[in-house]
């Protein structure tokens, strides 16, 4: 009798729609759209990568079988070939791969959500795990080259362990359709991780040293939390890398962590211009293992802190409107008591005489039991889509739980025809007259 794990072995026959349900699109990769689905027989969620390129199923099957070899904790598991309509009968038949579903997304997602590098213990573990995964692929028989190593092709499990994906697919895609991934070249994303020899000649033949170069640049991204050559046109990146340009090492302060200087030296050895001078992945993991051992005890705490931060980041989709953490010890009225309505009329000398018997509080109808923050009353006006919103005595707006959007306070400008001040003793003088 087969064990439960045998069910997850590489299948010789394609996995079809009758075994999958609860389809949802979760993103797109370099070779096609990625979907999440539930395997009805296995009782687990899987990722289905539907390839954009068309061609021979047998060719992709051979590539998938090659990628499945052995199994490694730092290499994404391939369950089999997919063939179907992505759960919609009206769709044309497509094929792709059925793989592990990784709940925490990619390394690129992690760096973006954190807004910088992870804590050193986690950063060093990720560096080591990626090196281990690549060393495994290079020691398969025959060796399997990745050819597209970058943060978006490093996926993370629930404990933020790294697993490589899209390895070998570049060769599979070319053999299937001979299509060129122009989008990556336009955006400069993959270009930033490509070795100089790949940019120098159209007759470039990839080798193990090609992956080692990409690994060196990937290490820089992990340590700095940044994308290399950010905001640089792809045409300039394509020109400058063969001329010797590399990511800026001045951004790394080696005194911040024990072993960080060794990581920097490793980067430089990996991105040597001459492929024959680059290290092997076996050399790389010897270095990263020693560094990781120095910080291993802090990994659990670092992972827990990052997971807590990710789980509490409920407003990541609203970053474009610059939401900042709620300031502490700030008293502000609840939104239910914000005053809305037309703006007050501009005060003139004539208006002053006509409304002189009105008290100052009558123009701001706030409940008597309401505590007013000790701030100069201001009125803010915005016009989203033609709808005017007026707010008085507001220092900020809360969106969601524990989030605060600051509102810039501007002093009110008196009209040029208005007197410099209002005589607030006028009411008393009228009573005594």
**Residue whose C-alpha is closest to residue 122's, from 364, 337, 298:** 298
- Show the tokens assigned to 301: 């705490």
- Show the tokens assigned to 276: 């024959």
- Which residues are part of the catalytic machinery? 148
């Amino acid at each position: 009798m087969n064990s439960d794990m045998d069910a997850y072995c590489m299948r010789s026959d394609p996995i079809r729609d009758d075994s999958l349900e609860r389809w949802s699109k979760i993103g797109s990769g370099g070779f096609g759209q990625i979907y999440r689905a539930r395997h009805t027989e296995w009782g687990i969620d899987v990722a289905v990568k539907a390839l954009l390129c068309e061609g021979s199923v047998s060719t992709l099957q051979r590539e998938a079988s090659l990628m499945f070899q052995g199994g490694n904790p730092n290499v994404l598991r391939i369950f089999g070939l997919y063939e179907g309509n992505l759960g919609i009968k009206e769709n044309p038949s497509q094929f792709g791969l059925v793989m592990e579903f990784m709940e925490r997304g990619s390394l690129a997602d992690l760096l973006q959500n954190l807004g910088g590098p992870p804590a050193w213990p986690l950063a060093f573990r990720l560096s080591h795990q990626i090196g281990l995964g690549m060393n495994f692929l290079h020691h398969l028989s025959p060796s399997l080259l990745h050819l597209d190593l970058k943060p978006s092709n490093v996926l993370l499990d629930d404990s933020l362990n790294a697993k490589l994906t899209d390895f070998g697919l570049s060769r599979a895609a070319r053999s299937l359709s001979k299509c060129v991934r122009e989008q990556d070249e336009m955006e400069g994303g993959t270009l930033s991780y490509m070795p100089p020899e790949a940019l120098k000649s159209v007759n470039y033949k990839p080798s193990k040293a090609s992956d080692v170069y990409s690994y060196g640049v990937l290490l820089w991204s992990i340590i700095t939390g940044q994308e290399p050559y950010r905001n640089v046109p792809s045409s300039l990146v394509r020109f400058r890398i063969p001329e010797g340009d590399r990511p800026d090492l001045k951004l790394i302060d080696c005194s911040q962590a024990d072993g960080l200087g060794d990581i920097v030296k490793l980067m430089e050895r990996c991105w040597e211009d001459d492929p024959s001078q680059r290290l092997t992945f076996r050399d790389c993991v010897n270095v990263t293992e020693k560094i990781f051992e120095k910080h291993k005890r802090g990994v659990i705490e670092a992972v827990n802190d990052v997971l807590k931060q990710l789980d509490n980041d409920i407003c990541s989709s609203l970053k474009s409107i610059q939401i900042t953490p709620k300031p502490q010890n700030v008293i502000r009225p609840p939104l239910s008591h914000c005053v809305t309505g037309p703006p007050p009329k501009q005060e003139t000398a004539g208006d002053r005489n006509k409304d002189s018997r009105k008290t100052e509080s009558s123009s701001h109808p706030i409940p008597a039991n309401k505590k007013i923050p000790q701030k100069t009353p201001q009125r803010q006006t915005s016009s989203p889509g033609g709808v005017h919103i007026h707010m008085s005595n507001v220092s900020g707006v809360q969106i969601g739980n524990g989030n605060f959007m600051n509102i810039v306070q501007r002093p009110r400008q008196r009209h040029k025809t208005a007197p410099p001040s209002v005589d607030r003793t006028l009411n008393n003088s009228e009573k005594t007259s």
